Copies of this chain bind each other. A is one copy, B any other.
Amino acid sequence: MPVPSDTNSPSPYVREKRRKRRDEILHAALQAFRRNGYHATTLEDIARHLGVRSTALYHYFPDKESILYECHQRSLAELDRLMEEARGLDCSAERLSFLIREHVRVMTDTLDGSPLAFEVTALSEEHQQEVISARDRYERELRRTIEDGTSDGEFRPVNSKVAVFAILGAINWIARWYRPEGSLHAAEIGAGFADHLVGGLVAR
């Protein structure tokens, strides 16, 4: 096993180990947030779940807000990537289906079904602004996808704002009822939502 020869630039092995540890902390934090809510969760709860002392967490995150912020950042980075990928698809219905299906996956997998969508106000003012802008960007992309579909005659004419609220409501609400150990599988929810929410816009 390689040993770092220079402590200033950690070896790939150490970097990988740190990345894994970071992921474990985020995962444990999301589970705790889902179970008890963000406000009722302490760094001690998260550390206990990982079988370490809370001081061990400070090596990775200075406080609870920075954990919440990184969860938001990761899910928003995924949404950015999805928008990019969706643009390569053939038609508006396909693009919208892809975005809905994959956004459901972000909610259930990346976010562990955590009610993160409900915890923006717990972020610092600066982080809140950043998260809100990223969400606005995503919302505009959904709206544009629907409007493009209407222009092409693929979708019937609708108020795209109302349609996007219906879609985001359905997806964000997942945090309220989804249980990873429950009977509904993430892929089934994603496919069901995509068919339901795109189907309702398709022109006949």
> Interface on A for B, CB 8 Å cutoff?
118, 158-159, 161-163, 165-174, 176-177, 184, 188-189, 192-193, 195-202, 204
Contacts and interface: CB of A to CB of B under 8 A. Distances in A.
Given A173-B173, A184-B161, A166 B204 contact: no
Contact of A173 (B165, B188, B189): B165
Copies of this chain assembled into the complex: 2
Given A159-B188, A198-B200, A170 B165 contact: yes
A105 to B, nearest CB: 14
B195 A158 contact: yes
Contacts of A174: 165, 169
A165 B169 CA distance: 10
Nearest to A193: B166
Contact of A163 (B161, B169, B177, B196): B196
Contacts of A163: 192, 196
- Closest 6 A/B residue pairs (Cβ): A169-B173, A200-B200, A162-B192, A199-B200, A169-B170, A196-B200
Nearest to A198: B200
A120 to B, nearest CB: 10
5 contacts: A159-B192, A162-B188, A169-B173, A195-B200, A199-B199
